[in-house]
Amino acid sequence: MNFSLYIAKRYLIAKSGNNTINIITIIASFGVIVGALALFIILSGFSGFKTFTNSMLNDSDPDIKVTTTKGKSFFYTDSIASIVSKTAGVQSVATSIEERVFLQYKQKEQIAYIKGVSANYTKITPIDSTLIVGQWLDSEYVNSAVIGSGISDKLSLGVLNFGALLEVKAPKSGTGLMLSKSSSFSSVATQIVGVYSGAEEFANTYVFVGLSLAQKLLSYQENEISSLEIKLTDDVEHNVVAETLQQYLGADFKVETRIQLNALTYKVLNTEELVSYLIFTLIIIIALFNVIGAIIMMIIDKKNNLKTLFSLGVTIKEIKRIFVYQGFLLTLFGLSVGLILGVLLIFLQQKFQLFMITPSIPYPVELRFLNVLVVAFTIAILGYIAAKIASSRISIAFIER
């Protein structure tokens, strides 16, 4: 066994005659344990939030969305349909229309977006699985709609309110003067057949109707749409398919993946994760000052032993290495205990849902090996640096003094 490592292990395990040093060593170990535990839980929490966010976005956004760069709508021609269907990786395609509208129910009003979707829309996004009451759109009932839970709450509007229908109004296109309300807006009356849940912004925004009803409201032609929404097979890269489609469709169209559609959301999550990592790393650095203090106190306490080792021919470099190993082993001990506790807490949260965001939604966490590596690498490097700083106090003058 390496001589310096052997002595370091003996110094670390053996109880010092000075009780103050023992207390400082325990405090240093506890600081590393808490730092490792906190950093691991934070990273696991952000991993869980990312997965939770992805699951919610999967219900609201397609794998790929194609829109026009010229105006609000385009004609879904046979040539476009052929390009999309022949692109490798495309599994299903749905057409949709999206436009800002004015909602009115009894005496309550709200601005939202109407989204007319084709009959196969649920093959693109599993939004029907998010229904909390009612059912999804049925093509046999043209004047039916599905609303978000946020809209339902604001308008006090439930399912199958036969006493009053939800009126959806959209401005008529044109450049003429608006002489009256009736001539300025086109409207349709809809019966609510379902209410969906989801992210707050999503649940407060959309009213889903059949494609034909949206075309009627907005005076669109039969094959005039706002966007194509595409579901891809599981074995393809979304970016690769999007780039291929963009190349074939040309500059008149904009092809975006789900990540690009929600770029701000992902950017905020990644930025918050990075900032949290840096903050907790700073806390760990502060905690490692206890390790530096413990090693320095140990060096002072073992001064006579060091003088003996030096007289026996042990070099200053080897003596320094003893305390580098000791500090590093102390850090590894705290790191190991902290990670074990962290993994246990994450497992308990996943199993028993100890902490809740709402009465029905547990705090999302996810156990990832990458997070274990990040915590281990961060604390191990910082612990090694702390031990090097503490051991730098050792010199020939200090030993012979």
> What is the reported pLDDT for 174?
60
Contact 110, 154 (CB under 8 A): yes
Is residue 290 located within the same domain as residue 241?
no
Last residue of a domain, one of 230, 258, 286: 258
Is residue 142 located within the same domain as residue 224?
yes
Q: Which residues make Cβ contacts (< 8 Å) with residue 257, sequence separation at least 6?
A: 63, 64, 238, 239, 242
Query: What is the DSSP secondary structure assignment for residue 70, as one 8-state letter?
Result: S
Percent of the chain that is helix, strand, coil (3-state, to 5): 55, 20, 25
Q: Which residues make Cβ contacts (< 8 Å) with residue 242, sequence separation at least 6?
A: 64, 255, 256, 257, 260
Helix 316-352 vs helix 3-13: crossing angle, to nearest 10: 60
Last residue of a domain, one of 258, 277, 300: 258
> What is the reported pLDDT for 9?
86
What does pTM read for this prediction?
Answer: 0.86
Q: β-pairing, 185-196 with 166-171?
A: antiparallel
Q: Which residues make Cβ contacts (< 8 Å) with residue 147, sequence separation at least 6?
A: 157, 166, 192, 194, 195, 196, 206, 207, 208
Q: Which residues make Cβ contacts (< 8 Å) with residue 173, sequence separation at least 6?
A: 218, 219
Residue numbers of the domain that contains 312: 3-57+265-400
What percent of the chain lies above the pLDDT cut of 90?
Answer: 76
- For the chain, what is the domain count? 2
The pLDDT tens digits of the residues spanning 12-61 come to 887 766 777 888 888 999 999 999 999 999 999 999 999 999 889 999 99
Rounded to an integer, what distance in angstroms lies between the CA atom of residue 43 and that of residue 41? 6
Which DSSP string do the residues of 154-203 spell out, in sequence order?
HHT--TT-TTSPEEEEEEPPSSS---SHHHHEEEEEEEEEEEE--SHHHH
Last residue of a domain, one of 231, 258, 285: 258
Is residue 215 located within the same domain as residue 90?
yes
Read off the pLDDT of each residue in 356-364 and give the average, rounded to a whole number: 87
Average pLDDT, the chain: 92
Residue 162 clears pLDDT 70, i.e. is over it: no
Is residue 371 located within the same domain as residue 344?
yes
Q: Which sign does the torsion angle of CA 206, 207, 212, 218 carry?
A: negative
Is residue 160 located within the same domain as residue 227?
yes
Is residue 123 located within the same domain as residue 244?
yes
Q: Which residues make Cβ contacts (< 8 Å) with residue 258, sequence separation at least 6?
A: 57, 58, 61, 62, 63, 64, 238
Query: Residue 78 CB: number of other CB atoms within 10 A?
Result: 8
307: exposed, middle or buried (Cβ count in 10 Å: 0-12, 13-18, 19+) = middle
Could you tell me the pLDDT band of residue 302, with boundaries at 50, 70 and 90?
confident
Residue 172 clears pLDDT 80, i.e. is over it: yes
Could you tell me the pLDDT band of residue 400, with boundaries at 50, 70 and 90?
confident
Rounded to an integer, what distance in angstroms lies between the CA atom of residue 328 and that of residue 300? 18
**Strand ranges, E, within 172-287:** 185-196, 206-210, 224-225, 227-232, 253-257
Is residue 167 located within the same domain as residue 288?
no
Is residue 226 located within the same domain as residue 344?
no
Tell me the chain's radius of gyration from C-alpha atoms: 32
Residue with tokens 């909390």: 132
Is residue 134 located within the same domain as residue 175?
yes
CA distances from 11 to 5, 183, 333 (A): 10, 90, 14
Q: What is the H or E stretch that residue 265 is in?
A: helix 263-301
360: exposed, middle or buried (Cβ count in 10 Å: 0-12, 13-18, 19+) = exposed
Rounded to an integer, what distance in angstroms lies between the CA atom of residue 137 and that of residue 117? 9
The pLDDT tens digits of the residues spanning 231-285 come to 999 999 999 999 999 999 999 999 999 999 999 999 999 999 999 999 999 999 9
| CA proximity to 379, closest of 345, 352, 339, 342 | 339
The pLDDT tens digits of the residues spanning 179-231 come to 555 667 899 999 999 999 988 899 999 999 999 999 999 999 999 999 999 99
> Please, what is the Cα angle at 265 between 61 and 228, to 5 degrees?
25
| CA proximity to 81, closest of 70, 66, 69, 62 | 66
Residue spans of alpha helices (H) in 66-185: 78-86, 149-155, 181-184
Query: Residue 358 CB: number of other CB atoms within 10 A?
Result: 7
> What is the reported pLDDT for 16?
67
Is residue 297 located within the same domain as residue 341?
yes
Is residue 113 located within the same domain as residue 31?
no
Q: Phi and psi at residue 86, in whole multiples of 5°? A: -90, -5
Is residue 90 located within the same domain as residue 49?
no
